[in-house]
Amino acid sequence: MAMVRSARIRIGAGVGAILATVLAGCGSGAPSNAAAPDCGAPARPLVIATGTASGVYSAMGTELARLISAGTPLQARAVQTGSTLGNVQQLASGEYDIAFAQADGAADAVRGQGVFSEPQKIQALARIYPDYTHVVVSAGSGVSSMADFRGKRISTGPAKSGTELIADRLLQAAGLDPAKDVQAQHLDLDATVAAMRAGTLDGFVWSGGLPTGGVADLFASDGSRMRFVDVSTLLPALQRDDDVYSAGTIPAAAYHTSGDVPTITLPNMLVVRSDFSPEAACAVTKVLFQQKAALVSAAPAAVGIDPRTAADTGPVELNPGARAALGQLTG
């Protein structure tokens, strides 16, 4: 993991003259009077892959598409999707232009591991807000730890989703085989919430920003029958797989619970293919940060967007146009 950490903001050698120009304008040791590249984006359509209807990706992505279309020549539209890993796979195949992705799945993509049979040619526009691991159980389930899920009915998120990735890693860290030791159901968030209300699930894992709409709805209507499980003790085991994971807390105010819940967090990113136009990347990145207030209004989790940490996307290489925008924004 030390090698991964040291590569956090590493730049690939093959970007060529465009990258050299970008670095010259972004404080990378080049002369300070070198001109930054033009961020004028071409007039072209963009498709942004988000997530499930009641998740943060969808709310934020829809507003981001509106802001891009209103403020640049780019015409963006957001589409709802079922999984982070699917987002990256379909981005790489050309179906999408920009995708929301969790950092662990994006790391697997560039390393060619997990569901990816070979390294994917993707770059990052920015690290955005953190996701919080939600592990929720029914009060009568008898579950107080991940190990207690043995034999239980648990939603681990849609197949090939970021939620499924972290759910499987949590179960393995607790000594369980996700394929054999639990009754795993691959449900999206809306179906998960419905099943919890109906009593056909004992619990679920969800990775999302605070607050996630579907989880908030569940606690608003059935909070007395639900409770969170503290999974923070499994953090060291997850960090052995990938250093993108950190300690975090779901505050009581997020879902009006009786107390704060220690948990595990990981960053989200906006990712693009490696051939994505630096000019378009620069324009989109500027919109992301200059219109933060509008994004927060649409999805409160966007409060975590910070240009000071946006370039921390390792091991995913930062797009040179995004680097130019961040250099200009942070001065």
Task: Decide: residue 303, CB within 10 A, 0-12 exposed, 13-18 middle, 19+ buried.
Answer: middle
Measured CA to CA, the distance from residue 140 to residue 207 in angstroms comes to 23
Superfamily (CATH) of domain 131-266 = Periplasmic binding protein-like II (3.40.190.10)
- 13 or 231, higher pLDDT: 231
**Domain-wise residue ranges, the chain:** 2-129+269-330, 131-266
Statement: residue 30 has pLDDT above 60: no
Domains 2-129+269-330 and 131-266 share a fold: yes
Global model pTM greater than 0.75: yes
Measured CA to CA, the distance from residue 123 to residue 273 in angstroms comes to 6
What the block records as the tokens of 309 is 């940490």
What the block records as the tokens of 69 is 């279309």
Statement: residue 192 has pLDDT above 70: yes
For 2-129+269-330, the fitting CATH number among 3.40.190.10, 3.30.70.3280, 3.40.50.1400, 2.60.15.10 is: 3.40.190.10
Measured CA to CA, the distance from residue 276 to residue 45 in angstroms comes to 13
Considering only CA atoms, give the Rg of the chain. 20
**DSSP secondary structure letter of residue 26:** T
Statement: residue 10 has pLDDT above 60: no
* Cβ count within 10 A of residue 199: 12
pLDDT in tens, 82-127: 888 999 999 999 999 999 999 999 999 999 999 999 999 999 999 9
Rounded to a whole number of angstroms, the distance between the first and last alpha carbons of the chain is: 31
pLDDT of 144 reads: 97
Measured CA to CA, the distance from residue 218 to residue 193 in angstroms comes to 6
pLDDT in tens, 136-180: 999 999 999 999 999 999 999 998 889 999 999 999 999 999 999
Measured CA to CA, the distance from residue 199 to residue 32 in angstroms comes to 62
